[in-house]
Structure 1
Amino acid sequence: MGNKSRSSLLYPSHVTTAFKEESNRRLLRLPSPTRGACQLTQKLYELGARKIVVFDVAAPGCLPAMTNRIAFSSVCEERVNQLVNEYNRLLPQLVEDLKCRLPGTVSILGRVSNSFQNIYQNPSKFGFKYTNIPCCVVDDHGTTPCVPNKTPCQDRNQHIFYDAIHTSEAANAIIANQCFSQSSVCSPINIQQLAAVQGR
């Protein structure tokens, strides 16, 4: 990406070098859950990326592979969900630090976890009938990938999950549309607004 693709800053132009150095020092103190995200965004920046969206992690304990493991139900395994809670908690500060650590970037946070949880807890509101039953045929009480050469469900739009670990196209479309045009998922601006930001 060239200079024309670089977006303008979201932080004030008078940010000092000292403040940037403090941001870098804070990065070194970040707990390990977010270091992978830090390294990835740094690499993308070095390759020319200036508009960055960082997504949190939706509840893995609500996947059919988890909920159907012990009992065939839609009750999420909260012990599994807790594994990503710390990462999601630290992510907003990481996104904020990007503005100072990577000059010229516009970074936004995508809270897909909130959107997914809203869909999972209120399936009928979004047109879904099945929460823990995948669209495709799976073995072992609905915890495995799709069984080859088996016909999937007739109406995929009624299922939150396509298989035991992947959300369906219908669920993904809802989350993507919310992040693209609304501020409830992606903030401080949505992806449509991010795309319109002009580089300097």
Structure 2
Amino acid sequence: MMARMTSPNLLLLSFSLLACFLPSPCSSSSSGGEKEDGTKIKGMFVFGSSLVDNGNNNYLQESMAKADYLPYGIDFPLGPSGRFTNGKNVIDLLGDQLNLPSYIPPFTNPTTKGSRIIHGVNYASGASGILDDTGSLAGQVISLNQQIKNFEGVTLPDLERQLGCKSSESLPSYLIVVGTGGNDYTFNYFMRKSSINNNNVSLEAFTVNLITTLSAQLKRLYELGGRKFVLMSLNPIGCSPMVNARLPMRKGCAQKLNLAAHLFNTHLKSLVDLIKPHMPGSNLVYVNSYKIIRDIIKNPTSKGFRDASNPCCEVASISEGGSGVLCKRGGTTCANRTILVFFDGLHPTEAVNDLIARNAYASNLQTQVYPINVKQLAQI
């Protein structure tokens, strides 16, 4: 009698019952479960420009927007990596806040595949923008549209193979971080505005077009499975050393550039509420890095800074054939990089990035994060 009970059918039934109690590949157990701080995030997929780029342009031979040389990375554990700052960028530091296990790898690195993508991928490209033609002055860049195509066509099939389930099941455990738009103004709209043939588009109309385009791009990421979105505001681009170098006789920030950034940010914050009905089950957080940096610039010492107008590194000037943005290769840097706001002509130091990441993660001020902070988003 006992021998008859060990039939293949009984064994099959036993395995089926056991499977009911095992977690599926895309269950919370697969994504690390709930952490001590209540967050449930497995990783991040990052889209945008140089403020969040961690090395994608390194692999673009024809790109002039690169940061894979010293003094970039002078304070980064791995040295120069393609991050446009002295150390960690805001994505690295946000990952630290989320207790993610490793740096998010850049998409264009040939090794970014297989098990390396389980905690996310970074697609951001320095000098790129929301519009496809932004960044053409920098040579080869990866537009936001192409970044999303790379995510959809290359990463998602690989992620499904790695996790053993559909990306629509796994992506709610990831943050979708988008930080872009500044280049659409500085290296597109205002440069075209100075052209005789391209001066008839108002700032408001250009901004509405940007936000409409970005809205469609966010909806596409939603359709692919994204549910938790972090939208980074534009920084106060009119206060950058690059602008100071181009307009040496002007004192203070360039209000036209800051007005453009402020206008975009106002629309972007409104989009958080306006887009939700079109993306059921999604949650979006707006991070106001503009205000965080502007507050430092207005009163640097209150935040532990001393210099809010000069670049820390020696910048290749326009008269020398540079752009006024990037550090000279092997150029000098300031001795104390924790007290300067800008590392080069445009990008913040790690110290500023850290302040942005900490506020994004834990601030309870809706003037800094709206409508909730990233920690609360990660707990949903």
Q: TM-score, normalised by structure 2?
A: 0.43
Unaligned runs of 5+ in 1: 8-29
Q: Distance in 2 between matches of 1:97 and 1:49?
A: 17
Q: Structure 2 vs 1, CA of residues 105 and 183 (structure 1 numbering), >3 Å: closer, same or farther?
A: same
Aligned-pair CA distance for 1:107: 1.1
Instruction: Give the residue type in structure 1 aligned to 2:357.
Output: A
User: Which residue in the other structure is 1:107 paired with?
Assistant: 284
Asked if the contact 1:179–1:186 (Cα under 8 Å) also holds between the matched residues in 2, the reply is yes
Q: 1:156 aligns with which of 331, 337, 344?
A: 337
Asked if the contact 2:243–2:254 (Cα under 8 Å) also holds between the matched residues in 1, the reply is yes
User: Which residue in the other structure is 2:217 paired with?
Assistant: 40
Asked if the contact 1:98–1:105 (Cα under 8 Å) also holds between the matched residues in 2, the reply is no
Aligned-pair CA distance for 1:74: 6.3
Q: Distance in 1 between matches of 2:316 and 2:287?
A: 33
The structure, 1 or 2, with the larger RCO (C-alpha pairs under 8 Å, 6+ apart) is 1
| Residue 177 (1) aligns with residue 373 (2) | no
SS of the aligned residue for 2:234 comes to: coil
| Residue 130 (1) aligns with residue 307 (2) | yes
Instruction: Give the residue type in structure 2 aligned to 1:98.
Output: I
1:3-23 Cα distance to aligned partner (Å, 9 max, x none): 36538xxxxxxxxxxxxxxxx
Q: Distance in 2 between matches of 1:144 and 1:3?
A: 41
Q: Distance in 2 between matches of 1:175 and 1:72?
A: 30
User: Which residue in the other structure is 2:172 paired with?
Assistant: 6
Q: Structure 2 vs 1, CA of residues 189 and 144 (structure 1 numbering), >3 Å: closer, same or farther?
A: closer
Q: TM-score, normalised by structure 1?
A: 0.79
Asked if the contact 1:6–1:104 (Cα under 8 Å) also holds between the matched residues in 2, the reply is no
Structure 1 vs Structure 2: percent identity of aligned residues?
Answer: 28
Q: Structure 2 vs 1, CA of residues 41 and 92 (structure 1 numbering), >3 Å: closer, same or farther?
A: same
Larger mean Cα displacement after TM superposition, 83-92 or 136-145: 136-145
Instruction: Give the residue type in structure 1 aligned to 2:317.
Output: D
Q: Structure 2 vs 1, CA of residues 36 and 183 (structure 1 numbering), >3 Å: closer, same or farther?
A: farther
User: Which residue in the other structure is 1:143 paired with?
Assistant: 324
CA-based RMSD: 2.3
Unaligned runs of 5+ in 2: 1-166, 174-206
Q: Distance in 2 between matches of 1:146 and 1:160?
A: 15
Aligned-pair CA distance for 1:79: 1.4
Q: Distance in 1 between matches of 2:325 and 2:231?
A: 29
Aligned-pair CA distance for 1:110: 1.4
Number of residue pairs matched by the alignment: 175
Q: Which structure's residues are more often helix, by fraction?
A: 1
Instruction: Give the residue type in structure 2 aligned to 1:35.
Output: T
